[in-house]
Amino acid sequence: MKCPVCQIDMIVVEHKKIELDYCTRCSGVWFDSSELDLLLQDEGVKISHFSPAPPEIASAEKKRRCPICRRKMDKVLIGEEPKVLIDACPRQDGLWFDGGEVEQLISQKAGKAVVSFLGDVFQTRGKPS
């Protein structure tokens, strides 16, 4: 699968039967449609909903194309205050987190489940140069 930002092949990282696509250049992470739910479900955490990003926030960041269907993704806000701006496929193929956005989400309430998972998976990887 190609990174929606860098257009290079991403690597597949598997942990606890969840496969994520990770870009070694920009540190972006692709969650297929059910992967974030599976990860959070194990810890009894649920993110209630995504909210569309206001136009002034959404227009500040370039639109990304879904790596699966190639449609332009929607900018949505997720989590608690301060909300994190991510990209969501309009066909619900998945979610794209730019480098650093996963860390923003894990610093919030839902973070306990994600910290453990992503710490195991990505902590050992070097930062992209």
pLDDT value, residue 123: 47
Task: Pick 68 or 49 by higher pLDDT.
Answer: 68
Give which of 88, 115, 77, 105 is closest to 31, Cα–Cα: 88
Domain ranges in the chain are 11-122
Sign of the alpha-carbon torsion through 54, 79, 76, 27: positive
Summarize pLDDT for 63-100 with one digit per residue, the tens.
899 999 999 999 998 877 788 899 999 998 999 999 98
Residue-level pLDDT at 91: 92
Higher pLDDT, 119 or 82: 82
103, 95 Cβ separation under 8 angstroms: no
Q: How confident is the model at residue 55 (pLDDT cuts 50, 70, 90)?
A: confident
How confident is the model at residue 125, as a pLDDT? 44
Please, are residues 40 and 113 in contact by the beta-carbon 8 Å criterion?
Answer: yes
Q: 100 near 23, Cβ under 8 Å?
A: no
Average pLDDT, the chain: 79
Banded model confidence at residue 8, pLDDT cuts 50, 70, 90: very high
